[in-house]
Structures are given as structure tokens and as C-alpha cells.
Structure 1
Amino acid sequence: MSDPAAYDAVIVGGGHNGLVAAAYLARAGCSVLLLERLAGTGGAAVSSRPFPGVDARLSRYSYLVSLLPKKIVRDLDLDFRVRTRTISSYTPTERAGRPTGLLVGGGEARTRRAFARLTGGEREYDAWRDFYAMTGQVARSVFPTLTEPLPGRAELRARVDDATAWRALFEEPLGTAIEERFADDLVRGVVLTDALIGTFADAHDPSLRQNRCFLYHVIGGGTGDWNVPVGGMGALTGAIADSARAAGARLRTGCEATRIDSDGLRAAVTYREGDRGERTVDARHVLVNASPQALATLLGDEPPEPAEGAQLKVNMLLKRLPRLRDTSVDPREAFAGTFHIAEGYEELATAYAQAAAGAPPAAPPCEIYCHSLTDPTILAPDLVEDGYQTLTLFGLHTPAQLFADDHDAVRDDLLKSTLAQLDKHLAEPIADCLAPDAEGRPCIEARTPLDLQRDLRLPGGNIFHGDLAFPYAEDTEAAGGAEGGGARWGVATRHANVLLCGAGAVRGGGVSGIPGHNAAMAALGE
């Protein structure tokens, strides 16, 4: 059956948000065509086997789920599950010349004892409990609004209904709240890390980009929990693609959109499929699951300056988990949650200052987790039986500019120094635990921001497509005008029938499907 020349909606980009939009629109009875440049859909939310001859299917880029609303899973009948992690985090350190650490999780009593062991008293744990009770209340108030029309600032503040929380998270640099509440440098650092994932900022950055990043990391699901996708991240995007196809959406891979023309009522999308030349299809709506820079290029506009990414993503496969210098903690617990390295408060500040000055951090901060401890289904049965495990490492404060002049050399040196920081807390080198691939090479790969820019067309390698926005509209913004219903949903462009459904939308970023849902709602509302 040949494609029609016109559709109710054409979606440019087959990442998870584009797939969500396609599924919603098709289930509403719309004719939908989705165009994806790559050979497969999923974007950054994919699983792959990166190591030759090894049957380990890793979440290669994005890797945990928090922001995906249960509403989307239910609405689209997704065959997808997540598993919770009983341990939230473990942060090794050294005190009085002896290895120790902070284990958060396993119940309130156990966490309280861990704080007392590290800090020698109850104060830090009480501050921790009170602070996360505050963020939990904000999460319960804010998260449900993410799949509703965009609230104004005053409306969202009224829903939060806590002046102290609003000031701490929405108005003052997060460093102020952290320093007012916590005294221990390590505890301060553990709190701050959620503000720095993929975001290059200092705790006291006046732009508050660190606050916005922190907010999205603590509101997911109304709890802030970060869960493990069963089967890997590709299981999620595969389920969404299946839902879209079942509803009648046409998903075309290997098709690169090259131009969008719109008069606000109808639009035309020109795309190229391999060596077959260009073709143009008409649509009532066009939803763009790509960066604002890519959108501008498609429309013939001047692209905005990208906000560069600042992360180093490392995937590893181990023959066994390494032993820890802190023998009071089982490695299977330490690596089941988020394992923090060089992420004390002052260490993070120093690393940021060094990177901002153009030098790789001397002690690169990072965090690590082991997917296969919670979900072994990503490994072949024989690997599970032999005790193999995955490790995912996410390095902070490594902006794209660091790699501009000599990419491979800087990447290799940074990886070496990052693993050296990890080794400081291990009773054996991590290199001794790496599994070999079919050619005898260690199973480890590193991806820099520039790799993400090349492979996934993320501007500057920014995993959020740019700086995150607070999840509200300024009260002075009109909810109509040329942008039409897109403004109500935070997905507007200068054309009423062209909508942004990627991470660059308001309330974008992370694996959530929220921009895809909201763009579909805006299109259906028209």
C-alpha cells in the first residue's frame, strides 16, 4: 500500500517523544507519518550490544526511568515495566584515614545508622529527612501538572503552597538551600549531584539552571524515584513503537526531513530517503521531535546558540563486581543504587572551576550504577550464571569544549583519570574486572558530548536539547496568538501548526514522553 500524499500529522524524528506523539494521534483516529533519519527508532532511548560477540544488551545512552508518567503507559497500553531499587545511593569516602561511606536506602533505620556512622550524630540525617520531605511535597504538587496545560508561574506557586520550598527550589541558587541545611561536605555533595546531571553549572549559578535540573530529578512520578527499565531502555521505545503501529501510524526509518514549509493552516514536509531523492508530503500538523536548532534549520530560521552538554557516558561489562575498600558494604548493594565518586561538595566546585577554565577536572566526578543487579534480563543466561554484571558510569563537569581540539586524546585521558578515582575506593582495579569481548579487548566504551552530537545530533551533546525550563509559563505570556494551542501546552513554535515535541519543549528533558503527549494534545485540541 503506497503512502498518501497528505496526513493529519507528520512527525519528524522517531525518538521516544515522537513515538509517543504518533501513538496518541493514531489512537485518536489521525493519519500519521513518522520520519526517522536513522535505521531504527528510539533516539537516545535505545538498547544495543556494543561489545562484539558478547550477548549483553545495554541501554547505551539514557538508562533510568523516573519522569515517564503512568498515565502514558496506561493510555498507550504499553507492555513495559520498571523495577525499583532498594538502595538509593552509596558514596565511598575516607575519614580519619579509614575507608567508609554513606549508604542511603534499605529502610529508614538503616539509613539513619549510616548517617550516624559517617557524621557522628543525628543532625545530618534529620536535615536530610526534612529536606527530602520538602522536595517530596513539591513532587506531589508539580508532577501531575506536567501532562496538563502549562500552568502560569503564580498558579504553580499556589499549587506548591510552600513559600520556603518555592524560594529554595525556584528562586534562590540551590547552593544556598544546601549550605543552610547541611554541614557535612559529603552529604552536601550527594544532594547537589541531582542538579548537575547533564548540566554544567555551579551550585550558586545565578541562572538557576542547576535548580531546574534538580527539580526534574526529584519530581518524577511524584516521588523522585529512579527506576530500572526491565529489558533495558530499548524495551520502552519498542513498546511505544508497537503501540503506534498497532494504531495505524506509519513509521518510516532511513528518511531524513530536510525542510518544513507552513502557512499556519497547512504544512509541507520535504524529506530524503536514501538515494531515492526528495519527496514532499502535506500535513495539517507537523510535530518535530528534534532540537530547537534542528527545528530552526528545517524552517529556514537562524538556529539559536546551543547550550553545550557536559557529560561522559561510559558503558562497561564486568566478569564480576569489584571488591570495596569499605568492607562494611556488600558490593551488590553499593552498585545497585547510585555509586558516587569524587562528588563531595568542594570536589564538585573544584571540578566545575577547572572545566570552566578549559581544563579537564583533575579528579573527575561521576556516578555509577549496575542495571543487571536489578534486571538481569539484559544479559544472556550464561553470562548471568557466570556472575557477569553491567556498569553504567555518568561523568559530570566534562563540557563539550574540552574535547574540541583533540577529541580522542582528551576522551582517553579523562576516562583514565575517572577510573583512577573509582579505583581509590576499590580493593582491586576495575580493569581487572572488565570482561573481554570476542576479540579479547576489554568491554568498555566512552561517549563524549561531541560523540552524542555526531551520533544523535544533540546540539553540543546536550542530552536535554538545551537548558531545562521551569515547568510553568510566565504569567505575562499569552496562551494563544500565532502559536495557537501549542502555547497552552509548552510546545509552540512561530507557526500554529508546527509543534515542538522533543526535549527542547517546556517540560522536556529526560525519558518522559511528556513533550510527545503534550504536542499530541495541542494538535488534537486544534
Structure 2
Amino acid sequence: MTATYDSLGVVGLPAPISELAARSWDAVIVGGGHNGLTAAAYLAMAGKSVLVLEARERLGGACTLETPFADERFLVSPCAYLVGLLHPRVIEELDLERFGYRTFTADPNQWTPFEDGTSLFQWQDSSRTAAAVKEIAPNDVDGFMAYEALFERIRDRLRSGPRGDVWLGDSPDHAALEELFVDDVQAAEVIFGASIADVIDNHVKDERLKAALHGQGVIGTFAGPHDPGTAWVHAHHSLSMIGGWGFVEGGMGRVSFCIADSARESGAVIAAGAPVAEIIPGQGVRLVGGELINAKAVISNADPVQTSSLLMSASGTAFQSKVDSWAITSPVVKLNCALSQLPTFTASPNDPTIFKAQVEIARSIDLTQSACDAARAGIAQPEWCELYFQTPYDSSVAPPGMHTMSVFAQYVPYELAQGTWDTRREEIGDGVLDAIARFAPNIHECVIERQVLGPPDVEEKVGLTGGHIFQGEILPEQMWDQRFSARTGIDGVYLCGAATHPGGSVMGVNGRNAAMAVLADLK
């Protein structure tokens, strides 16, 4: 069996569709994103017959690898950049390291340049972070470290506290979470609705520190730092149990490809270029070509809106009502670049260490909030950005001496008040580079080629409604028992994507939870 990475996820059909349709399957997975592949792997390991149907020619969904530039030695994961929340059980139980999964922990984990020419490193070693804070804001060291400790407490209580790991299985409800944090008012406020701006203001006074910290409360979220619930967004991204965020050797899409190889070794059958037209509860799925594939269970890796569309009139009142109220519009523009050289940041022109960090581009909490408000009015205003440079850790993703840069930028609207994404895509891409150029003036000259993906582009390219990589907002009102369950309440139909508990990012546990639900129900 050829490793999925060797073909960059383009696996084709394992047999003619007519042969696949002639079989009856225990489970059909609709969509070959990383969670769908994870569900397939667990079901196959349990001895179930499993067929994965991916509409595109390439596996991985938002977590894949492509060669979008003229020089195909540049490897790009178009929508997913770092791994940090992948569940350790998924890594271990699917034996991903045996299939080539290796990571480089980002250390420093963040570097932020400021407009006054100073900058801040944040390290894996908290004592080094404290020393870095002391250099620019000595009166804020204790508050900064207390802020970090707050989110560490939340992680420890949720992932290894009295209830064990709350990511596994069904979500705790509001009352259970209140009980879990009854002795920690600060943590409870983060979980149930505080803004990231308020939490930061309660800990530090220096405006530069506020600029460095607030972006983690809005990343991937159509909300500004003053908006309620954004503190939870940071908490969600702080729940890593694998030592923090890091780069995957060979590119982020390799996570999906390793999971696919594990699934196939266990007996799962994976078909790419096989779009599903309809989910038929209690029976299976019908392909675009009209073929009926029978299955006891259908597990959809598609987002809830897409799943509802596939269910047609069979979606059911309760499920459809939740879909209709689901917030799923992204404010993110993705910019993936091939670089001739690394840019020069004026705050630290001769320090290569900065490129090993996630580089934060931010000026102030208020400017980020204003950009969010502008996007709500249909105006693209990419003010806050996070930059990722893989090549300082892993030169395999670019030609010798060259580099890649991926940018997660906010805020942009799905629908522009003036013009369209087709007419203004490159202009908005220029705006992202202009935001970076405030701190790295030569960034435009470093870019050989670029790929600009606005929310409609991600929707069309990956199939994610609203271009939302988390399949819906991860603000408190759409988390925990307010997120979708793996069980839809529709006969034989399940969800396994990021819209399910415990939320979005490359986690794998959503797929594991769905597989466990199916296995319990098929007994």
C-alpha cells in the first residue's frame, strides 16, 4: 500500500463504484477530512466494514497538502497550519508515528513586534517568558504570569480534573461545568462569557502586552476582543495535551494522511472523487452518479448545513432547527505565500529565532475591535494577523534557500459591501501584506507567489459553509452541550466534524467520539 503522503492525498477510487455499491457496509463516512478518516480508522479497528467517500480528488479537507504555485516544490496546507489540539489518544491508538507523524514544537511559541520597535518573545519555559516581559513591562510580570496560570488551571481541570478528560464522549452540560469550577470564579467567567479584553485588562496594564495577548481570543472567530465569550476562544486553544503548538514534518496535511494510512491498514476502504448527493436515513447514501450504497450507519464529516442539505426533507425538525440557528460565517482570509527570502522585521532585524515562533501582527485591542465591526458592515479590514514560517524547522516544504509563509488574517466579510471576492481578492491580499509591512517593510518584495483564500473561496474549495474552518463559532453559546452531538437523532445518521463536541481545530477526537457512538449503537 502506497503511503497517502506520497500522492499528497490523491488516492482515487480503490475499485469501480459499481463494486463498492454492490456491497453492504456497516458504516459509510461522508467526507475524508481528518475527523472522518479518524472515525473510519476506529470503526475499522473494531472490525466494522467502512467506506469513506470524499467528493474531492484529494483527502484531508481543510487539513491537506497542495502544490498551488508554479514551482511544485512548495508544499502548502491551505487552511491548517499548526497542530496543538490533536488528541494524544488518537496519536497513540492509531499509531500515527509509525505512519510518519512527527512534529517540531514551536519554541518560542509566539513573537510579537510592536510599533515602538520593541518586541516580546513567549516561550515554552515560563521563566524565559517572565524575563522577556520584565524587559519591556517590569510592573506587569506578576499579572502576565497570573494570566498564563489562569488558562493552565482551566486546561488542567477540563482535561485531567475530577471528571477526567471532558473531550471524550458526550459533553458536560452547563450545570456540570459550574460544579467543576465552583471554587474558581475567574475560570468560570472565562468559560461562560468573559471577553478576552476584560480578562487581559484584569491582569496587565502595558498596551504592548495587551496587543500581544488579545489575538488568541478572536482567532477564527467573528467577534472582536471586547465581545463576550472571546476569553473562551483562547481557553479552547490552550487545552493542548501534547506539549503545545507545533509544525508537522512535511506539512500539516500529513496528519490527515497518516490517519488515512492507519485506517486503510485496519481495513477501511477510502474512495476519493466520489461525491455524495443524498443521505438516506436507515439505508445509506446515494452518489451523484445515482448509485445507492447501503450502510447501517452514515457518519457525516460535512458541516451541519451541508449535512442538512444532503438529508433533504429527512433532516428532522430538531436537527434542522439547530442548523438554522447555527452561526457559521468566517471572518478569516488565508494567505499562503512562496517566499524568496524571509522578511526583515524592524523590531528584530538580525534574529532568526523570531521565525520559529508564531508571529503576531497586532497594534491594539481597539483597532482589532474596529476591524471586526467594519467586517460586520461588509468592509474588509485585515488588521490582526498570525504568521507561520515552517521552513526554519522543516526545509522539505520549499526549494533550497526559499521559504513558505502562511497567514491567518482577520477581519473580512463573506459578502463585501462593495465589489465581489472575484474582483477584489488580490486587493484584499495586498491589504494583508500591508498590515504585515507595518512591521516588516520588505514583505511584498519577498513574495514570489501567493494564494488568497477568502471565506467564499474556502467554502468552494473545501466545502465548509461560510468558509468556517471550525464548522461554526466556538464562542460559549455554541460549545459544550450547545454544540452538535455525534448522534443527530435521525435514524442511523451521525456527525463527526468540528461542529460536534468538543469543537474545532485539528483534534481527531470528534471522529473518535463519533466512532464510539456508532459502535455502541451497532451492538
TM-score range, shorter chain: 0.7 to 0.9
State the 1:404 CA deviation.
7.5
Could you tell me which of 90, 101, 104 is aligned with 2:122? 104
Alignment of 1:371-520 (within 5 A): 371-379=390-398, 383-384=399-400, 387-402=401-416, 405-426=419-440, 428-434=441-447, 442-468=448-474, 470=476, 472-473=480-481, 490-520=485-515
CA contact (8 A) 1:403 1:450 kept: no
Deviations along 1:329-371, one digit per CA (max 9) or x if unpaired, are 644222221111234212212212222233222x622111201
Match of 2:414, as an amino acid? A
Could you tell me which of 284, 304, 307 is aligned with 2:328? 307
Deviations along 1:293-339, one digit per CA (max 9) or x if unpaired, are 11111111466265211111111122221222124x64422222111
CA contact (8 A) 1:400 1:460 kept: yes
CA distance in 1, matches of 2:436, 2:512: 40
Could you tell me which of 293, 299, 310 is aligned with 1:281? 293
State the 1:106 CA deviation.
6.9
Q: State whether structure 2 residue 354 is matched by structure 1 residue 334.
A: yes
Could you tell me which of 316, 322, 341 is aligned with 2:337? 316
State the 1:222 CA deviation.
6.9
State the 1:378 CA deviation.
2.1
Q: State whether structure 2 residue 341 is matched by structure 1 residue 298.
A: no
State the 1:269 CA deviation.
1.0
Tell me whether 352-361 or 14-23 shows the greater mean CA deviation: 352-361
Q: Secondary structure, in 3 states, of the residue corresponding to 1:373? A: coil
State the 1:496 CA deviation.
4.5
Look up the match of 1:139.
155
CA distance in 2, matches of 1:332, 1:187: 22
Q: State whether structure 2 residue 211 is matched by structure 1 residue 189.
A: yes
CA contact (8 A) 2:88 2:242 kept: no
Match of 2:512, as an amino acid? H
Look up the match of 1:39.
57
Quickly say closer, same or farther: Cα 1:171–1:60, change in 2 above 3 A: closer
CA distance in 1, matches of 2:418, 2:237: 29
Alignment of 1:147-158 (within 5 A): 147-158=168-179
CA distance in 2, matches of 1:458, 1:331: 38
Q: State whether structure 2 residue 370 is matched by structure 1 residue 370.
A: no
Look up the match of 2:5.
none
CA distance in 1, matches of 2:405, 2:490: 44
Q: Secondary structure, in 3 states, of the residue corresponding to 1:446? A: strand
Alignment of 1:258-269 (within 5 A): 258-262=277-281, 266-269=282-285
Quickly say closer, same or farther: Cα 1:469–1:146, change in 2 above 3 A: farther
Look up the match of 1:28.
46
Deviations along 1:90-139, one digit per CA (max 9) or x if unpaired, are 111133xxx221222274454334323323x2x32221111111111211
Deviations along 1:360-417, one digit per CA (max 9) or x if unpaired, are 22x62211120111222323xxx33xx2121111101112123783213432222222
Alignment of 1:224-243 (within 5 A): 225-243=244-262
Q: State whether structure 2 residue 378 is matched by structure 1 residue 358.
A: yes
CA contact (8 A) 2:300 2:494 kept: yes
Look up the match of 1:521.
516
Q: Secondary structure, in 3 states, of the residue corresponding to 1:48? A: coil
Tell me whether 388-397 or 137-146 shows the greater mean CA deviation: 137-146
TM-score, length-scaled by structure 2 = 0.87
CA contact (8 A) 2:387 2:407 kept: yes
CA distance in 1, matches of 2:265, 2:172: 33
Alignment of 1:108-119 (within 5 A): 108-119=126-137
CA contact (8 A) 1:267 1:283 kept: yes
CA contact (8 A) 2:279 2:310 kept: yes
Quickly say closer, same or farther: Cα 1:330–1:165, change in 2 above 3 A: farther
CA contact (8 A) 2:359 2:386 kept: yes
Unaligned runs of 5+ in 1: 435-441, 475-486
CA contact (8 A) 1:323 1:331 kept: no
Quickly say closer, same or farther: Cα 1:157–1:34, change in 2 above 3 A: same
CA contact (8 A) 2:215 2:384 kept: no
CA contact (8 A) 1:468 1:507 kept: no
CA contact (8 A) 2:226 2:369 kept: no
Look up the match of 1:347.
367
TM-score, length-scaled by structure 1 = 0.86
Alignment of 1:64-79 (within 5 A): 64-78=82-96, 79=99
CA distance in 1, matches of 2:212, 2:439: 16
CA distance in 2, matches of 1:82, 1:349: 34
State the 1:52 CA deviation.
1.2
Look up the match of 2:10.
none
Quickly say closer, same or farther: Cα 1:334–1:156, change in 2 above 3 A: same
Q: Secondary structure, in 3 states, of the residue corresponding to 1:425? A: coil
Q: Secondary structure, in 3 states, of the residue corresponding to 1:312? A: strand
CA distance in 2, matches of 1:342, 1:469: 21
CA distance in 2, matches of 1:219, 1:118: 28
Could you tell me which of 162, 187, 207 is aligned with 1:165? 187
Look up the match of 2:115.
94
Look up the match of 1:251.
270
Could you tell me which of 259, 270, 286 is aligned with 2:286? 270
CA contact (8 A) 2:86 2:509 kept: yes
Q: State whether structure 2 residue 113 is matched by structure 1 residue 127.
A: no
Match of 2:271, as an amino acid? R
CA distance in 1, matches of 2:413, 2:233: 16
State the 1:57 CA deviation.
1.2
CA distance in 2, matches of 1:419, 1:76: 39
Deviations along 1:260-291, one digit per CA (max 9) or x if unpaired, are 222xxx3321112xxxx311122111100001
Match of 2:508, as an amino acid? G
Quickly say closer, same or farther: Cα 1:524–1:84, change in 2 above 3 A: same
Aligned pair count reads: 483
CA contact (8 A) 1:173 1:204 kept: yes
CA distance in 1, matches of 2:339, 2:417: 27
